[in-house]
């Protein structure tokens, strides 16, 4: 079995063996508390440039199935696991996770004390790391991590209209949407993130969704500006990083969290009533201050994270702008009241 | 929502005696509920007939009633206490049924009592088969094709329409009791007859079989704000067809995709909403077709359950505590998660380890029972194991069961190769699930079957089969080495796969101690990881611990404070159960009170001792030498308490002491003096005490010689056993020869013990506590049944009722002498027999006994706690415990048996223990107390009707007087020829009925037709055994109360006379002891 190494930027080192693609990748190391859902994580664009650590010991048990992909390709760089399953067993399985990762260039390391890694990140924050199955020269690897600058994440994501003629009432601005979210807006026109406010308004669209996506939402400066122009004119819904973009457009502020929220067991509640839902989350950026721009009426908190009390959802007082940092998974979860998409 | 202020006093109905399907998980949940409600300032009233529980300690609830769980008694309690609310969801099926019936009968309305936790409508939608089907249909969820019937005829018609195989599920029964899987018309008819009988509503669901489908369970909670959480999923390794209580279960589910799991979780949310639970939890069971993912709902249990206890222990999320808080109006977001200390109950726990639940069976006690596992639960206990991967966890689970197996085979205890490689046998064992199927998976792998082939036969998912294949591959690698040359990497990897030192020793031809020392030298030791509810996301305040070799970072939180370790009792089994957990918990409480850290080691997820806040630190680990020693090395306790966990820690005592473990309390040597036959004999001789004439034998010739010398009847048994395993009374040489021929276990190290059997002797149990200088008697209990019936199976009374003052004096003196000679520090139990004016010593156990909690309840003194304080060095004098407490009322303990789970077995009592639980009845009058105990034990002794009497020749003299008294109480007597003649000679009017095979209607017909309301039948020996077994097991199956000893018949008639005169009254434990508490 090939040796594989994970070196964090603070010098902490973990060694295991390779089960996915061979190579060397630099990314941001996060932990996810889900026990399943690896294929979805790897293919969700919002995991772009992430090295994902899974605390749960067994990964790969039920294999993979193309139907479960969250996009057309993989986006995460590597998967760190305790034990990769030697076999897979599920009636829907079409292949093994390892083969899928090899095919898509995703590095896999098994045999890591992933709980220890989780606790390290919990204590020291999400940080850069390098995974390698090629060189084990720690010093060389350390130099690479230190010197590495992430590329501007401003990748163009696919759209469903070549000419970008908007005919639907609902428009989704794609900053890295996943398939699960996409299915919530059937019939919507998907546009790229350089689409201008003028163009959207000219089309007669009534509702605009800013999708989830990877990277630092604060870097999407021109999009923030365009969204600002839409405020008050159409209904706006932002999800995950899309919510950050919306918050920025409303004059709020966004910050990088020490440890992001990555899991499917995270409670969000209305701070006034305590009622809420268990949500699926994957965000490393939070919303700190609420803006006051929303048509002069300002923003208010709809949901906070019950664990750490950070903002998870907001709306403007007129109800026209709504942002959620989480992906709702409750069977009854619908977009906030009075906001009917679809 | 804040808590409700319109209710102040809450009645909690618990689950009663430990029976199959309802064990100490309800002590765990009930205790949690009591604590949770009291900390919110509610006044709690608890009713439970089981004195062995922690929850019935006077300090747990404000008002504690140890009374039968029957509407008649509960109504009396309600009338007396006038509670505002009833919480019925924490006492298992018994509590739920009781709440439902009280509501239906209008009793709750009459006294203005509100049901909280789950209202009657929700209970009905969950439990009534038709309403459940309707509710599921309303949300579009498929149920297996089925229908509810109330007659055999309707069931036959429906069954033939749906097609075989079929599952039968009687309504409102627990642990699937009376349920079965039937393959043909014949079995269907039998199943219907029995199922209708055991269902309290005489209602049975006839259902399409989904045999072989995956069985997946969820624990779901909803609050009054409509917040819903899924605590965890659990997947049964044994697929549909084996009751979940008999299945090996893993948490969380392993072979479902995210999409499948989220779909099932969404169904769970729909179900809990549709059923209408809005302040409590439910267990939900699905069947999932492994070929196409099709989902059917099997059943839901809108209450805490065995599964919820398991889910709680597996995740660290205390469901019962939370359910209690929700019931009084709190919402999930308001309840703090005490394990993390910083998050809330509105949160779905996640794990970063693998959990197994494995089951402990007792088929060896019921040789006539069908050993095939079906939809009716048969397991008597369970163990839970935690590892950092499935292989480690599974092997830890197997050794936690204490079957003297130390992993999945390769421990020197496997089937001989000729059997283990017999392909026919292997296939048979895979197809027909039995308790040992997991070991046959290994044989199947070794015999060359593929994962897929094994799956086809067993329907056990290939993923699980492959885990065992990986274990086998590791085993083969290890077996190539000797201990001296095994590479460290390989040894570490094997330990990471859960291999025990015993297995490694077997594979490398060395011994356990050598392997342990070798590992230590090579630095191959476990690290300890946490159960923290959150997979490491938060730094927890109150986690508990498990060991793993499959990780590098040690999260052990051992401190250097003064601490004492308590070894628990492991999985429940017949002879060792909740009573010992009671003692262990008290040890922890006492240690903490005394300023020590209490370190608990146990593997039983049902118990209070494995609750996260019972001890300072809990290690969820198997109770074997290596596992315990590793914890000792990590924690370095000042002392280790071994005398509270029953036989489990005692069996380890010598090995642990040899390894340098600081055992506190009575010395291991003293324990040995009492256990070792020869040393015991000389001990008694030294003290001039008498024991029945006895000897030991290793072969037939020796046995014959001894038996002849001491004269028949004699009691024979193997040495070193628990609960009278394989113990028998033999009356002649032929019986003795048969026994010895079967006693293949006999060897010079393990001889067969032969004692003179004392006929018609009175048996007496004594518990005492001693501090090395002074001894105080906790209680003297006089058995109702004569000597010869295992003490765990006989009823007894505290105080005694027929012993003379001088005999009691003699008993006390003998007790003091033994305690002094054995330098007892802590508890000791002695069993005496009184024959004529002679006192015999039967057995001395210098440890906590099964009766300690009963004695504590009867006397109002926390003996286990006092014993712990003594072990810490306090004198009884200083503790103010100097005199025996003799209660002014009578407390009767009665045993409860699992015969109804094992159709066809003979319910006759003997020296081998068969009961699973106990109840207590208390009253000023012994007869009333005895009858209360009978009622609590489920013996519905009628107040009128026909009594069938058939006794052996020996008992014919004494039965006349008893029959006369039944006659004058207005009962009609029925007997077979021999007994009838005897009774007629005394001028009694008797209906004669035919013996089996001598004409119809015979006695079995009368039983089946419900004409006979009570049966008195004493065993007549071998010749009549077959017919008698039919009668006795017929009585059990038709739920006709049966009495098998003359002494119990006499006690019953005494009781009936008293009850007819005085009736029943209820009284709280607190009231019994308020006047006469203390040591006067």
8 A C-beta contact, residue B580 and residue B723:
no
Q: Where are the alpha helices (DSSP H) in B329-420?
A: 390-400, 417-420
> In chain A, how many domains are there?
2
Residue A137 and residue A178 in one domain: no
Chain-chain contact of B255 with A62 (C-beta, under 8 angstroms): yes
Whole-number Å distance between alpha carbons of B314 and B302: 20
**Inside any domain, residue A162:** no
Q: What is the pLDDT of residues B501-551, one digit of tens each?
A: 999 999 999 999 999 999 999 999 999 999 999 999 999 999 999 999 999
Residue A62 in contact with partner chain B when CB distance is under 8 A:
yes
Q: What is the pLDDT of residues B868-922, one digit of tens each?
A: 999 999 999 999 999 999 999 999 999 999 998 887 788 888 888 999 999 999 9
Q: For residue A150, what are its two tokens?
A: 């992430």
Residue A274 has its nearest CB partner, among B225, B390, B553, at B225
The distance of A183 to chain B (nearest Cα, Å) reads 14
Residue B352 has its nearest CB partner, among A36, A56, A278, at A56
Class of domain B665-691+758-939 as given by CATH? alpha beta
Residue A263 has its nearest CB partner, among B225, B350, B389, at B350
8 A C-beta contact, residue B496 and residue B389:
yes
Residue A298 and residue A187 in one domain: yes
In this model, does residue A328 exceed pLDDT 50?
A: yes
Residue A108 and residue A174 in one domain: no
Residue A263 in contact with partner chain B when CB distance is under 8 A:
yes
Name A171's bridge partners: A189, A208
**Inside any domain, residue A107:** yes
Q: Where are the alpha helices (DSSP H) in B497-558?
A: 501-507, 512-521
pLDDT of residue B569: 96
pTM: 0.94
What residues in A contact B341, CB-CB < 8 Å?
none
Closest-approach residue (CA) in chain A for B389: A57
Architecture of domain B530-661: 3-Layer(aba) Sandwich (3.40)
pLDDT of residue B1079: 37
What residues in B contact A68, CB-CB < 8 Å?
257-259
Q: Where are the alpha helices (DSSP H) in B999-1045?
A: 1003-1008, 1022-1037
8 A C-beta contact, residue B400 and residue B605:
no
Closest-approach residue (CA) in chain B for A112: B551
Residue A236 and residue A122 in one domain: no
Chain-chain contact of A61 with B255 (C-beta, under 8 angstroms): yes
Q: CATH topology for B942-1040? A: Rossmann fold (3.40.50)
Q: CATH topology for B9-118? A: Rossmann fold (3.40.50)
Q: Is B217 strand, coil or helix?
A: strand
Summary mean pLDDT of chain A:
90
Chain-chain contact of A276 with B262 (C-beta, under 8 angstroms): no
Q: Which CATH superfamily is domain B145-209 in?
A: ATP-grasp fold, A domain (3.30.1490.20)
pLDDT of residue B163: 86
Residue A266 and residue A125 in one domain: no
In this model, does residue A294 exceed pLDDT 70?
A: no
Q: How confident is the model at residue A342 (pLDDT cuts 50, 70, 90)?
A: very low
In B752-868, DSSP assigns E strands to 752-756, 762-771, 775-786, 796-798, 825-835, 838-845
pLDDT of residue B901: 86
Q: Average pLDDT for residues B169-190, to the nearest whole number?
A: 83
The distance of A241 to chain B (nearest Cα, Å) reads 22
**Inside any domain, residue A154:** no
Whole-number Å distance between alpha carbons of B27 and B610: 12
Q: What is the pLDDT of residues A141-156, one digit of tens each?
A: 999 998 788 775 556 6
pLDDT of residue B832: 97
- CATH hierarchy code of domain B404-527: 1.10.1030.10
Q: How confident is the model at residue B747 (pLDDT cuts 50, 70, 90)?
A: low
pLDDT of residue A154: 52
Residue B200's closest CA among B72, B300, B100, B301? Answer: B100
Residue A204 and residue A125 in one domain: no
Residue A252 and residue A299 in one domain: yes
The distance of B288 to chain A (nearest Cα, Å) reads 11
In this model, does residue B287 exceed pLDDT 60?
A: yes
Residue A12 and residue A129 in one domain: yes
Residue B257 in contact with partner chain A when CB distance is under 8 A:
yes
Q: How confident is the model at residue A296 (pLDDT cuts 50, 70, 90)?
A: very low
**Inside any domain, residue A319:** yes
8 A C-beta contact, residue A322 and residue A314:
yes
Q: What is the pLDDT of residues B688-745, one digit of tens each?
A: 999 999 998 888 899 999 999 999 999 998 876 666 777 888 988 988 988 888 766 6
The distance of A271 to chain B (nearest Cα, Å) reads 10
Whole-number Å distance between alpha carbons of B958 and B303: 48
Cis peptide before B713 (omega within 30 of 0): yes
Closest-approach residue (CA) in chain B for A121: B537
Whole-number Å distance between alpha carbons of B261 and B265: 6
Q: How confident is the model at residue B1078 (pLDDT cuts 50, 70, 90)?
A: very low
Size of interface A-B (CB pairs under 8 A): 161
Residue A118 in contact with partner chain B when CB distance is under 8 A:
yes
Residue A137 in contact with partner chain B when CB distance is under 8 A:
no
Tally of CA atoms within 13 A in the half-sphere of B881 that contains its CB:
27
* Number of DSSP helices (H) and strands (E) in chain A, helices first: 8, 19
Q: What is the pLDDT of residues B424-459, one digit of tens each?
A: 999 999 999 999 999 999 999 999 999 999 999 999
Closest-approach residue (CA) in chain A for B343: A307
Q: What is the pLDDT of residues A22-36, one digit of tens each?
A: 999 999 999 999 999
| Residue finishing a domain among A82, A116, A147 | A147
**Inside any domain, residue A246:** yes
Residue B335's closest CA among B386, B281, B284? Answer: B281
pLDDT of residue B1030: 87
Residue A94 and residue A175 in one domain: no
In this model, does residue B201 exceed pLDDT 90?
A: no
What residues in A contact B333, CB-CB < 8 Å?
267, 269, 274-276, 306
Residue A213 in contact with partner chain B when CB distance is under 8 A:
no
Residue A256 and residue A213 in one domain: yes
Tally of CA atoms within 13 A in the half-sphere of B454 that contains its CB:
28
Chain-chain contact of A307 with B333 (C-beta, under 8 angstroms): no
Chain-chain contact of B347 with A278 (C-beta, under 8 angstroms): yes
Q: Which residues of B249-274 are buried (b: 16+ CB within 10 A; e: fewer)?
A: bbbbbbbbbbbbbbbbbebbbbbbbb
Whole-number Å distance between alpha carbons of B398 and B468: 13
The distance of A31 to chain B (nearest Cα, Å) reads 9
What residues in A contact B293, CB-CB < 8 Å?
91-92
Residue A36 and residue A180 in one domain: no
Domain that holds residue A63: 3-147
Q: For residue B852, what are its two tokens?
A: 């300690």
| CATH at residue A253 | 3.40.50.880
Hey, how many other C-beta atoms are within 10 angstroms of the C-beta on B232? 27
Name A283's bridge partners: A261
Going from N- to C-terminal start, the domains of chain B cover 9-118, 145-209, 404-527, 530-661, 665-691+758-939, 693-756, 942-1040
**Inside any domain, residue A190:** yes
Q: What is the pLDDT of residues B601-639, one digit of tens each?
A: 999 999 999 999 999 999 999 999 999 999 999 999 999
Chain-chain contact of B389 with A267 (C-beta, under 8 angstroms): no
Q: Which residues of B830-848 are buried (b: 16+ CB within 10 A; e: fewer)?
A: bbbbbeeeebbbbbbbbbb
Summary mean pLDDT of chain B:
93
Q: What is the pLDDT of residues B41-83, one digit of tens each?
A: 999 999 999 999 999 998 899 999 999 999 999 999 999 999 9
What residues in A contact B266, CB-CB < 8 Å?
331
**Inside any domain, residue A165:** no
Residues of chain A by 3-state class (helix, strand, coil), percent to 5:
20, 35, 45
| CATH at residue A41 | 3.50.30.20
pLDDT of residue B145: 86
Whole-number Å distance between alpha carbons of B484 and B461: 38
Residue B229 in contact with partner chain A when CB distance is under 8 A:
yes
Q: How confident is the model at residue A297 (pLDDT cuts 50, 70, 90)?
A: low
Phi/psi of residue B821, each to 5°?
-65, -40
Closest-approach residue (CA) in chain A for B349: A265
Residue A330 in contact with partner chain B when CB distance is under 8 A:
yes
Q: Is B708 strand, coil or helix?
A: helix
Length of chain B: 1080
**Inside any domain, residue A271:** yes
Chain-chain contact of B389 with A83 (C-beta, under 8 angstroms): yes
What residues in A contact B347, CB-CB < 8 Å?
265-267, 278, 306-307
B9-118 matches B530-661 in fold: yes
What residues in A contact B317, CB-CB < 8 Å?
none
Q: Is B818 strand, coil or helix?
A: helix
Tell me which residues of chain A, numbers 268 to 307, contact chain B at a CB-CB cutoff of 8 Å: 269, 273-278, 306-307
Between helix B92-104 and helix B25-38 the angle, nearest 10°, is 60
Q: How confident is the model at residue B173 (pLDDT cuts 50, 70, 90)?
A: confident
Tell me which residues of chain B, numbers 330 to 359, contact chain A at a CB-CB cutoff of 8 Å: 331, 333-334, 342-344, 346-354
In this model, does residue B1076 exceed pLDDT 70?
A: no
The distance of B466 to chain A (nearest Cα, Å) reads 7
Dihedral sign computed on CA atoms, order B1030, B1036, B1041, B1043: positive
In this model, does residue B292 exceed pLDDT 70?
A: yes
Q: Is B747 strand, coil or helix?
A: coil
Q: What is the pLDDT of residues B915-964, one digit of tens each?
A: 999 999 999 999 999 999 999 999 989 999 999 999 998 899 899 999 99
Q: What residues contact residue B961 under an 8 Å CB cut-off, 6+ apart?
A: none
What residues in B contact A264, CB-CB < 8 Å?
348
Class of domain B693-756 as given by CATH? alpha beta
């Amino acid at each position: 079995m090939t040796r594989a190494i994970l070196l964090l930027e603070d010098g902490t080192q973990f060694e295991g063996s390779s089960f996915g693609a061979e190579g060397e990748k630099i990314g941001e190391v996060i932990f996810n508390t889900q026990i399943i859902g690896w294929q979805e994580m790897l293919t969700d664009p919002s995991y772009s440039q992430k090295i994902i650590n899974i605390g749960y010991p067994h990964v790969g048990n039920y294999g993979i199935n193309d139907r479960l992909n969250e996009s057309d390709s993989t986006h995460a760089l590597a998967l760190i696991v305790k034990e990769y399953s030697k076999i897979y067993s599920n009636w829907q399985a079409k292949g093994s996770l390892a083969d899928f990762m090899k095919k898509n260039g995703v590095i896999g390391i098994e045999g890591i004390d992933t709980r220890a890694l989780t606790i390290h990140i919990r204590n020291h924050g999400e940080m850069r790391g390098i995974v390698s199955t090629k060189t084990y020269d720690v010093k060389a690897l350390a130099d690479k991590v230190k010197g590495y600058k992430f590329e501007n994440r401003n990748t163009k994501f696919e759209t469903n209209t070549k000419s970008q003629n908007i005919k639907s009432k609902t428009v989704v601005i794609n900053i890295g949407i996943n398939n699960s979210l996409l299915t919530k807006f059937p019939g919507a026109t998907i546009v790229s993130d350089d689409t201008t406010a003028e163009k959207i308004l000219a089309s007669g669209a009534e509702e605009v969704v800013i999708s989830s996506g990877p990277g630092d939402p604060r870097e999407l400066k021109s999009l923030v500006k365009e969204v600002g122009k839409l405020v008050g004119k159409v209904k706006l819904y932002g999800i995950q990083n899309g919510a950050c973009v919306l918050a920025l457009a409303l004059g709020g502020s966004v910050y990088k969290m020490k440890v992001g929220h990555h899991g499917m067991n995270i409670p969000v509640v209305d701070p006034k009533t305590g009622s809420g839902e268990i949500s699926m989350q994957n965000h490393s950026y939070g919303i700190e201050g609420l803006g006051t721009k929303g048509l002069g009426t300002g923003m208010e908190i709809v949901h906070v994270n019950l664990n750490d009390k950070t903002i998870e959802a907001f709306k403007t007082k007129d109800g026209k702008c709504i942002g959620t940092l989480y992906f709702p998974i409750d069977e009854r979860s619908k977009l906030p009241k009075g906001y009917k998409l679809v | 929502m804040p808590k409700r202020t319109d209710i102040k006093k809450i009645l909690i109905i618990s689950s009663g005696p430990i029976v199959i399907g309802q064990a100490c998980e309800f002590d765990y949940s009930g205790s949690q509920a009591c604590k949770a409600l009291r900390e919110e300032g509610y006044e709690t009233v608890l009713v439970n007939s089981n004195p062995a529980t922690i929850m019935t300690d006077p300090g747990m609830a404000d008002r504690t009633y140890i009374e039968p769980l029957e509407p008649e008694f509960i109504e009396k309690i309600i009338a007396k206490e006038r509670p505002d609310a009833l919480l019925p969801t924490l006492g298992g099926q018994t509590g739920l049924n009781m709440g439902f019936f009280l509501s239906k009968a209008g009793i709750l309305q009459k006294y203005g009592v509100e049901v909280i936790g789950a209202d009657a409508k929700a209970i009905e939608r969950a439990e009534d088969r038709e309403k459940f089907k309707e509710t599921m249909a309303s949300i579009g969820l498929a149920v297996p094709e089925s229908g509810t019937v109330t007659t055999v005829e309707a069931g036959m018609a429906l069954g033939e329409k749906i097609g075989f195989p079929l599952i039968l599920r009687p309504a409102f029964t627990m642990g699937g009791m009376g349920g079965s899987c039937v393959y043909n018309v014949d079995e269907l008819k039998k199943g219907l007859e029995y199922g209708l009988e055991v269902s309290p509503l005489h209602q049975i669901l006839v259902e399409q079989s989904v045999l072989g489908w995956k069985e997946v369970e969820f624990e779901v909670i909803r609050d009054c704000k409509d917040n819903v959480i899924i605590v965890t999923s659990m997947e049964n390794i044994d697929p549909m067809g084996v009751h979940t209580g008999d299945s090996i279960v893993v948490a969380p589910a392993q072979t479902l995709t995210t999409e499948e799991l989220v779909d099932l979780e969404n169904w769970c949310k729909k179900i809990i909403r549709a059923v209408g639970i809005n302040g409590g939890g439910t267990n939900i069971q699905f069947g999932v077709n492994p070929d196409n993912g099709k989902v059917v709902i099997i059943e839901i249990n809108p209450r805490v359950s065995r599964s919820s206890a398991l889910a709680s222990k597996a995740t660290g999320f205390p469901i019962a505590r939370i359910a209690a808080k929700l019931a009084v109006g709190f919402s999930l977001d308001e309840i703090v998660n005490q394990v993390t200390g910083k998050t809330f109950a509105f949160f779905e726990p996640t794990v970063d380890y693998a959990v197994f639940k494995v089951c402990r069976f007792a088929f060896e006690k019921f040789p006539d029972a069908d050993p095939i596992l079906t939809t009716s639960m048969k397991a008597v206990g369970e163990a839970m194991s935690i590892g950092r991967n499935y292989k480690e966890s599974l092997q830890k689970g197997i050794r936690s069961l204490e079957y003297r197996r130390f992993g999945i085979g390769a421990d020197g205890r496997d089937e001989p190769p000729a059997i283990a490689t017999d392909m026919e046998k292997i296939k048979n064992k895979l197809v027909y699930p039995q308790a040992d199927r997991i070991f046959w998976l290994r044989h199947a792998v070794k015999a060359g079957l593929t994962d897929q082939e094994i799956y086809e036969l067993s329907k056990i998912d290939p993923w699980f089969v492959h885990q065992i294949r990986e274990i086998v591959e590791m085993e083969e690698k290890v077996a190539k080495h000797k201990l001296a040359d095994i590479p460290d990497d390989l040894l570490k990897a094997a330990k990471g796969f859960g291999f025990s030192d015993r297995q490694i020793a077997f594979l490398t031809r060395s011994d356990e101690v050598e392997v342990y020392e070798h590992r230590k030298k090579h630095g191959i030791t476990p690290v300890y990881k946490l159960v923290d509810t959150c997979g490491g996301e938060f730094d927890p305040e109150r986690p508990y611990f498990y060991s793993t070799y499959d990780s590098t970072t040690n999260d052990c939180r051992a401190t250097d404070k003064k601490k004492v370790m308590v070894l628990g009792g492991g999985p429940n089994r017949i002879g060792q159960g909740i009573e010992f957990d009671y003692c262990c918990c008290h040890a922890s409480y006492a240690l903490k009170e005394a300023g020590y850290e209490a370190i608990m080691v146990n593997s039983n997820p049902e118990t209070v001792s494995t609750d996260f806040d019972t001890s300072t630190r809990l290690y969820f680990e198997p109770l074997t030498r290596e596992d315990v020693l590793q914890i000792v090395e990590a924690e370095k306790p000042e002392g280790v308490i071994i005398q509270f966990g029953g036989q489990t820690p005692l069996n380890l005592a010598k090995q642990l002491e040899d390894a340098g473990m600081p055992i506190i309390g009575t010395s291991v040597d003293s324990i040995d003096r009492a256990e070792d036959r020869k040393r015991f004999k000389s001990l008694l001789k030294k003290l001039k005490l008498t024991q029945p004439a006895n000897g030991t034998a290793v072969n037939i010739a020796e046995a014959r010689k001894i038996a002849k010398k001491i004269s028949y009847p004699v009691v024979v048994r193997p040495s070193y056993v628990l609960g009278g395993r394989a113990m028998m009374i033999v009356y002649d040489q032929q019986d003795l020869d048969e026994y010895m021929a079967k006693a293949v276990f006999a060897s010079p190290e393990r001889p067969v013990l032969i004692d003179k059997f004392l006929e018609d002797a009175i048996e007496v149990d004594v518990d005492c506590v001693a501090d090395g200088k002074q001894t105080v008697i906790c209680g003297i209990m006089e058995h109702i049944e004569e000597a010869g019936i295992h003490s765990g199976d006989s009823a007894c009374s505290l105080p005694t009722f027929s012993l003379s003052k001088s005999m009691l004096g003699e008993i006390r003196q003998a007790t003091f002498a033994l305690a002094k000679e054995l330098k007892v520090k802590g508890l000791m139990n002695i069993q005496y027999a009184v024959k004529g004016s002679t006192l015999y010593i039967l057995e001395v156990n210098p440890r906590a006994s099964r009766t300690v909690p009963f004695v504590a309840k009867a006397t109002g003194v926390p003996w286990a706690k006092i014993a712990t304080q003594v072990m810490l060095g306090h004198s009884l004098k200083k503790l103010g415990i100097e005199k025996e407490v003799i209660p002014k009322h009578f407390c009767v303990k009665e045993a409860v048996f699992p015969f109804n789970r094992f159709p066809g077995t003979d319910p006759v009592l003997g020296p081998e223990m068969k009961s699973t639980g106990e109840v207590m009845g208390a009253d000023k009058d012994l007869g009333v107390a005895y009858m209360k105990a009978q009622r609590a034990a489920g013996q519905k002794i009628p107040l009128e009707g026909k009594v069938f009497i058939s006794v052996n020749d020996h008992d014919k003299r004494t039965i006349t007087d008893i029959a006369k008294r039944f006659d004058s109480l207005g009962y009609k007597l029925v007997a077979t020829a021999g007994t009838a003649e005897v009774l007629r000679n005394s001028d009694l009017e008797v209906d004669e009925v035919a013996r089996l095979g001598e004409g119809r209607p015979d006695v079995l017909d009368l039983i089946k037709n419900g004409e006979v309301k009570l049966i008195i039948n004493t065993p007549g020996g071998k010749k009549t055994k077959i017919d008698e077994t039919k009668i006795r097991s017929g009585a059990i199956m038709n739920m006709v109360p049966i009495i098998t000893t003359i002494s119990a018949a006499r006690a019953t008639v005494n009781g009936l006379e008293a009850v007819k005169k005085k009736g029943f009254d209820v009284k709280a434990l607190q009231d019994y002891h308020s006047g006469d508490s203390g040591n006067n």
